[in-house]
Copies of this chain bind each other. A is one copy, B any other.
Amino acid sequence: MGRYELEYPKDKDNSVKRYNQLASYSLRTIHGIVNSAQFVNLSFNPPNSPFPVILPMIGQMGSFDRPSADDGDPLDLYVHGYVSSRLMNLSRDGNGDGDGEHPAGMPVCASATHVDGLVLALSSFSHNYNYRSAILFGHATLVQDPDEKLWAMELITNSVVPDRWRHSRLPVTSAELQSTALLKVRIASASSKIRDGQAEDPRADLENEAAVGSIWTGVLPVHQTIGEPLPGPNNRVDLPGYIAEYRSSFNEDGREHSINAANNK
């Protein structure tokens, strides 16, 4: 780690306008929100439609050129999805050959959001969520180098369950590699917002004895839970330690994070 935290420069696309005291442009913060989320949403503009499209996809940020990079370093976003034929066709354009509609890649927005708590105030209008949200802008291209594709599949698989890649059926077949399409998003700018803490009521509400004496205020902490593993019909193996440990740390970390968010720690 260096002596300072890198930040995305503010520009007209990524500058947070409202509640900007909640904003962060730190690479470590933004990449950490994406890399701890179970999926990202990718938005793009299909041709001949007035509407942008949002697709939920499995994604992870990393650096193929510098695999030892961590969340604080410049990273690319790799995504793998199922509903993506339109997206894949559009981004086929932008693979450096200079032709097609999007020579630099297709402009996309990626976002990742964690809900950490429901914040119940005296007035409905003061209700809020504790959350962490990242938004990234960039250009998407199809990954074509087979080595990069293999590396990115390992990155994405291990983001679902850490260490799953080397515990799955290997080696990868060439048919698997050919039939799988991955997108790489080069990030142009990004920002994040984090809301934590307790309910904030205006003074007038806090001085309203009838309200304060009758309305429960506080935070309902929220986190994702992984339940009891359900072996498939063809499974013959006891649950391995790396899965059991991931489940237990995922659940404990999530629970703790939601409580710390409410307590502003």
Interface residues of A (CB under 8 A from B): 12-13, 16-19, 38-39, 41, 43-46, 48-56, 58, 82-86, 107-111, 113, 115, 118, 120-125, 127, 129, 131, 133, 135, 137, 153-154, 157, 160-161, 164-165, 167-169, 172, 176, 179-180, 188, 193, 198-199, 201, 205-206, 208, 211-240, 243, 247, 254-255, 258-259, 262-263
Interchain CB contact under 8 A, B83 and A169: no
Q: Would you list 7 pairs from A and B whose C-beta atoms are within 8 A, ordered by A residue?
A: A12-B48, A122-B169, A167-B216, A212-B236, A219-B230, A220-B243, A222-B225
B83→A53 contact, CB < 8 A: no
Q: A52-B44, A83-B16, A161-B120 are in contact. Are A39 and B227 (CB under 8 A)?
A: no
Q: Given the known inter-chain contacts A19-B82, A49-B13, A198-B233, please indicate yes or no for A124 contacting B153, CB distance below 8 A.
A: yes
Smallest Cβ distance from A222 to chain B, in angstroms?
Answer: 6
Given A12-B49, A109-B54, A239:B216 Cβ within 8 A: yes
